[in-house]
Chains A and B, each alone.
Chain A
Amino acid sequence: MPIPKSDWVIPTPDDIILCRKNDIARRIHSLVKVYHKWFDEWKSWLFLSHHVLTSCIESYYIDIERLKGLHHNSKWADSHKRAGFTMKWISHLRPVQITSYTGSISTADRKIILTANDFYVFWSGMSFLNVNSTQLTDDMIKNCVYSLRYRPISGELLSTQAYLIECAANGAMP
């Protein structure tokens, strides 16, 4: 029997986590898989903290449900919001961590290790979009990685950025 609209409760973060536990588990699984695809070459120095990643995804779902509640005409998050809010939480909590920094290491590898989390953020977000990596210029990626690393970010603004990137990559007017 459906519950009348007037009786709806405002979900707590724990409610949201309970309700989305399957989605959360699936998303963690996906992000672990893609991490290994992208960063296997640097596995001696980097690792992905599953505990921190879990926090990222739980926070993502809590945040996105908050947003949908706030914009109460919004029934679902589109791909740009998924990209923006995924990027926000991975960027804030930084699940890609350095295990060791010893031994012989090239300058290029050192730079990748130090920026790995930012690249992980970027590609995790872009993979939600209808964008092929070959459509993105190095300058644009560098600019995004710089923003993620040094500027204050918000899920909403990253969603807008994701929308504009997708438009530009597909030759559409924003």
Chain B
Amino acid sequence: MVTIEELREKYADVINDEAIRAVSTWTEKNFDDKFTPEDEEEYVQRASVQSKEVVRMMKRIVSSI
């Protein structure tokens, strides 16, 4: 299990401004997964709209297990 505190401690000596800048550039070029904050909202919306059906489905499924 990775926690941010453990990682920060472990990688403290290699984290510097230059590395962050370099990675930010790389991020801009290669890490962009095109999942915008609007997409994130849409994700929640889609999951929420179906919540009643999801609950009904879970109940139905466990009754047959």
Contacts and interface: CB of A to CB of B under 8 A. Distances in A.
> Which of the four size classes fits the interface of chain B?
35 or more
Given A82-B33, A138-B57, A132 B22 contact: no
Contacts of B26: 8-9, 11
Contact of A26 (B7, B37, B46, B50): B37
A33 B35 CA distance: 18
Contact of B7 (A7, A17, A34): A17
B23 A133 contact: no
Contacts of B63: 108
A19 B2 contact: no
Interface residues of A, number: 56
Nearest to A114: B62
Interface in A122-147: 123-124, 127-128, 132-134, 136, 138, 141-142, 145
Interface in A76-116: 76-77, 82, 93, 108, 111-112, 115
Contacts of A108: 59, 62-63
Interface of A: 2-3, 7-9, 11-20, 23, 26-27, 30, 33-34, 37-38, 41, 51-52, 54-55, 58-59, 62, 64-65, 68, 75-77, 82, 93, 108, 111-112, 115, 119, 123-124, 127-128, 132-134, 136, 138, 141-142, 145
